Amino acid sequence: MRENFFHEHFRFLYAHIRFFYRPFLPGNRNPIEKIPAGNILSDEVTTIHSGGLGMARQVQIQSYTARAFAELGKEKRLQEYSNIIFQLLGLVIDFISAEGETLRLSRGVHFNPYCVMLRKTPSGSRACAECDVANARKAALLRESICYSCYAGLTEIIYPLFDAHGTYIGSMTAGQFHLGERPLLTRKEVFELARRNGLSGHTLWNHYRKSVSLTAAQKDGLTGYLKIIGQHLTGIRDNLIFMDKIDMPDKIREVKHYLDGHYAEPLKLADMARRFSISPDYLTHMFRKEMNIAFHRYLVLRRLTEAEKMLSGTELSIREIAFHCGFGSISQFNRFFKSEKNCTPGMYRSKNWKCRSKD
């Protein structure tokens, strides 16, 4: 009866996903250029699936991944479908990025009490994390979904996601449940697990045996659901990459415009990166590419240009000019000025005032 209930609701859910996410599904997606993405859980997976990306490309990819991940976290519909699966099956689904971050779609409220108990202990939390990473790596290497038993005797599903270039970008996950009617661990084994983690054996056993049980058909249906949602997440990421490629030159011009208007302030590259939603490394790379000059050098030259005007056209002291133009100290101002102009600020002022008096 419960299995029929699941299949009826899954068909309903599938139809809604096809409707709402139609632009992102295969055959309906607009042709866009896709760029290889993100860090992988191991060097081995990186070598197989990223084709040996250069450092600049990896920096670019990390920026895309971070932005896409932030956008995915805002998807209310993903949370709604996560809630539906919990209501249907009592399970939690989630997305884990290639960097190991999770969207926490259930917001922690639907987590299996058995897992909660174990994860609250240092050894249990560590064992769970190691198990997740190892199986995510395995799924990425196999390039297919896997259904595995965790160290604590429950079953989980991992569905790896790849971009058009075959680069691993993350995984959809679902769990934790018994596959079939019979639990994997015996009462004695659960009590031993509780003892090793300093937990109550009776409480842990009660949570374990009450964990959700799925049939093989339900497990297959859940895997299909993860595939559909994974296609949607990949579509969002692809669109963000496409828009970033279009918008980046304009964004760098915005950064330049901001520097021109705020050069007197104590500007830092990290602060600028946050302001314009770009990773610091990627901002460094793209600023040099678009402006043909390094970020910090451009800022220094912009400040020195203003300092020249003040040295030759105002009676402000050199100290006042240094701080007015954004230099942190007189010594810093003198060092940069001499490096670029081959003279000190005082010598420059003396020469320019003499020239002005002759005119």
**Separation between Cα atoms, residue 19 and residue 23, nearest integer Å:** 9
The CATH number given to whatever domain includes residue 348 is 1.10.10.60
Categorize the per-residue pLDDT at 19 as very low, low, confident or very high, splitting at 50, 70 and 90: very low
Categorize the per-residue pLDDT at 129 as very low, low, confident or very high, splitting at 50, 70 and 90: confident
The answer to the question of residue 172 being in a domain is: yes
178 and 65, same domain (yes or no):
yes
3-state secondary structure (DSSP) of residue 66: helix
The answer to the question of residue 53 being in a domain is: yes
Last residue of a domain, one of 241, 264, 284: 241
Which helix (H) or strand (E) is 249 found in, with range?
A: helix 216-262
The answer to the question of residue 287 being in a domain is: no
- Say yes or no to pLDDT of 68 above 50: yes
Q: How far is CA 69 from CA 72, 98, 101, 169, 230, in A?
A: 5, 10, 9, 10, 13
**Separation between Cα atoms, residue 224 and residue 233, nearest integer Å:** 14
The answer to the question of residue 261 being in a domain is: no
101 and 208, same domain (yes or no):
yes
Last residue of a domain, one of 241, 270, 287: 241
**Separation between Cα atoms, residue 14 and residue 85, nearest integer Å:** 12
- Structural domain that includes position 36: 2-241
| pLDDT tens-digit readout, 249-295 | 888 888 999 999 999 999 999 889 888 877 788 888 889 988 899 99
Q: State the total domains in the chain.
A: 2
- Cβ proximity of 109 and 14 under 8 Å: no
- Say yes or no to pLDDT of 41 above 50: no
Q: How far is CA 315 from CA 35, 54, 294, 301, in A?
A: 54, 51, 32, 22
Please give the torsion angle defined by the CA atoms of residues 20, 26, 32 and 36, in that order, rounded to the nearest 10 degrees: 110
**Separation between Cα atoms, residue 58 and residue 48, nearest integer Å:** 15
- Say yes or no to pLDDT of 108 above 70: no
The answer to the question of residue 257 being in a domain is: no
Last residue of a domain, one of 224, 241, 258: 241
233 and 342, same domain (yes or no):
no
The answer to the question of residue 275 being in a domain is: no
- Say yes or no to pLDDT of 215 above 90: yes
Categorize the per-residue pLDDT at 205 as very low, low, confident or very high, splitting at 50, 70 and 90: very high
Strand partners, 93: 174
3-state secondary structure (DSSP) of residue 264: coil
> Which pLDDT score is estimated for 262?
93
Categorize the per-residue pLDDT at 302 as very low, low, confident or very high, splitting at 50, 70 and 90: very high
212 and 307, same domain (yes or no):
no
> Which pLDDT score is estimated for 359?
36
Indicate yes or no: pTM above 0.85.
no
User: Given its phi and psi angles, is residue 105 left (phi above 0), alpha (psi -120 to 50 degrees) or beta?
Assistant: alpha
232 and 321, same domain (yes or no):
no
Instruction: Pick the more confident residue, 246 or 284.
Output: 284
205 and 352, same domain (yes or no):
no
Per mean pLDDT, which of 38-47, 208-217, 283-292, 349-358 is the most reliable? 208-217
The answer to the question of residue 280 being in a domain is: no
Per-residue pLDDT, averaged over 111-127, amounts to 91
**Separation between Cα atoms, residue 297 and residue 151, nearest integer Å:** 53
96 and 11, same domain (yes or no):
yes
| pLDDT tens-digit readout, 228-245 | 888 877 777 776 666 666
34 and 168, same domain (yes or no):
yes
91 and 170, same domain (yes or no):
yes
- Sign of the Cα pseudo-torsion (296, 36, 128, 86, in order): positive
**Separation between Cα atoms, residue 119 and residue 229, nearest integer Å:** 27
Categorize the per-residue pLDDT at 45 as very low, low, confident or very high, splitting at 50, 70 and 90: very low
The answer to the question of residue 142 being in a domain is: yes
96 and 234, same domain (yes or no):
yes
Please give the torsion angle defined by the CA atoms of residues 201, 202, 208 and 211, in that order, rounded to the nearest 10 degrees: -160
Strand partners, 97: 170
165 and 236, same domain (yes or no):
yes
- Say yes or no to pLDDT of 50 above 70: no
| pLDDT tens-digit readout, 146-170 | 999 999 999 999 999 987 778 888 8
225 and 306, same domain (yes or no):
no
- Of 358, 356, 323, which is closest to residue 345 (Cα–Cα)? 323
**Separation between Cα atoms, residue 29 and residue 32, nearest integer Å:** 8
Mean pLDDT of the chain: 78
